[in-house]
Structure 1
Amino acid sequence: MVNVKSIFLSNIDQVLNFHVQTVHFFPANVDFPPEIVAARLKNALEKVMVPYDFLAGKLTLNHQTGRLEIECNSSSGAAAEFSLDEIGDLVYLNPAFMQLIVHALEKFEDQPLCVFQVCTKVTSFKCGGFALGISTNHVLFDGMSFKIFLENLASQAFDDDYKPLSIPPCNDRRLLAARSPPQVTFPHPELLKLNPPVGEENAPPDLDFKIFNLSQDEIGRLKEEAKAATKATGFNVVTAHIWRCKTLSCGGSRDRVSTVLYAVVIRGRLEPPLPASYCGNAVLSAYTSAKCSALEEEPFSRVVDMVYEGAERMNDEYARSAVDWGEIYKGFPNGEFLISSWWRLIRPRYSCPVVYHRKDIVLIFPEIGGAGSNGVNILVALPANEMDKFESLFRKYLP
């Protein structure tokens, strides 16, 4: 008889039912040729699948509660005749990278939640480097828990025997369950009630995409310009710079109000804090709003302060209120656009998302070069005329 268990998903997990596809490039290492790496990763995956058994589950709808749950019960890569240098500029997202990812199956109900293109052989290059394609449903992990999973995976790759994980996963999603009864104690303009029009779908706009780089020195200059701000961190100044440039590139009335969303990790903001090893999504959308005229005229330090104040709003009670709001309204984040940062997550030779075009999402991820590089790359997708304006403003506002 097959033992089946269902895993509760929080209201944050519920709205993140989509796959995140990434490609991670690693340089050659004479001690670890690709075939050895593949064998070790396969062995490591088998070992971590014990504590991470929910990765082998499938997403189901509980018809009694109307909630998504993970139901648990008890491909080979391909060699490529290229070196990493020959496949082109890794910084520029390449549609050919789609070949390095395992794609969706024909039947929705058979969709795996997590796929590594590493079962018998990782995709390898003649230089000895290799690429690891990973597709995970966002309900499994947020960025921090995915990073911990990869660290746990790596810890099992060097020994044949299983050894205890340094950070055993905590998969109790009820730690972020709504209160009973729900208590929405704040207005939440950053959230929108779920009420999609039936039978209406808008065609995606024709967008260009570009990668904009901010070097460590340029980020330092942004911090210096914002030195009067309360907290001129790298993230705050980069977010403020993107928000100002993207908002003003759209044109329109100077009285138009722009709302930018950005992810805030709530693990340490809750009382008590979540365990460091919490596997679920412990991220909520902070927001800040301003008129276009203010973004154009206010000192940069004030724009940075607005970003900081939006994140500081996210204390325990505000986070609990947002989770409870989701229990009542089944909604999703609502803003002009969202800034999603992968800046501090993973550092092989290079990691990047697979190409996609979303005007309402801006991605920040590390520049190529590994741990010694502290600049960022910024992926922006916009209509051609807005892209020209954005690029002009991006350089204009750099000190």
Structure 2
Amino acid sequence: MYLGGLFAAASSEERKYWGFLVFMKVLNEAPMEVASQIFTQNFMRCLMNQLAVEDRYLHKIAVKAAKSIQARTSKEPDFAYPALCGLMGPRGAVNFDQITKVKIVEKIVADVSHTAINQLMPFFEGLIVHSEADDKAAASRRQLIANFLQTIIKSFMTSAKEDDSDELDSAVQVIILTLAKYTYFSSDTAKPPISDATRELFRNKIMASLNIIISNQKRPSDIAYKVVQKIRDMEETGDSGKSIIDMSDTISESVHSAFKTLKKINKKSKQEGEQHDQAAQGLKLLYSLTILQVYNGDADAVSMLDELKMCYDKFLSHKKSNDEESGEASDALVEILLSFASKPSHLFRKMSEQVFGAFADKLTPTGLQSLLAVSPVLYM
């Protein structure tokens, strides 16, 4: 496109100024297929240089051009894809905002619609995989992408509408599972390889994203279940690479058994009445996050799976049980919830509150005593 010639290194400041005006004219009025092509290499170099220093001659017009990009994406959410490709792709920079000292990319990311995520995720994943940088720069780049992905999820959940829940759930799952792919599996395509520190960062982003979901979704257990089930599928098929989850045969068997029970709970959550549904949703959430904690290497989570199985048998399986057995299951559930609530994580505290609400009517005097004994410590 001729626009690139206006921003050639030898062009005068006047020609570049004219180029910015042409850029904004095309951006504001041209159809997407035309406007998508105006992020030329020469333009991006000039834009970044002018934005970076306030006293440069073209700084103000460069700021207007940058704001016009954000305005187009706000008006037309699907334009986020070409805009981010232009700003963060090979002609721009992943750390565009840091270089230019503006927050244009951050604002565009915060406005991304869930309908555009399927187009954007291959782009973001490509930035994770093909870093083309040294280990330190790659880690910084991957951290930036992970931050953006969490921002998108937060934006999705806080602006969600009731009638787009299915599409929203699907978009959120795509984001979390992309992070999971490089958290729990080795990738031959990632250059340089994903470091342990980056895996830990991605793991924390997954848990933080689930916390956002639990805080904003009416049925957060549905997403948590689908995520952990998909990770299991990825593990079994090997399509996402070799699993790096280190489990003994005993732990693997416990996890396998837990998934069988979890599938039964999921089925019941769609069949039972409202009261039973609340209990099934609570137990499904608890099971899903406990399995995820096993994947995260939490040794205590393995023993919790056996206790959760007892809770399922007494509360949801419709097997006849006496009052003593039901009381034991209730007390075990309280201990599990207290264990989660004591962890330094907003996710587990929020999850414990939701699950406790579903089973409060089954609380025994012993369970209540356990709860009262530690509640001052938990909420100090």
Which structure carries more relative contact order (alpha carbon 8 Å, separation 6+)?
1
- Whichever structure has more helix as a proportion of its residues is 2
TM-score, normalisation: structure 1: 0.24
Structure whose alpha-carbon radius of gyration is higher = 2
- Whichever structure has more strand as a proportion of its residues is 1
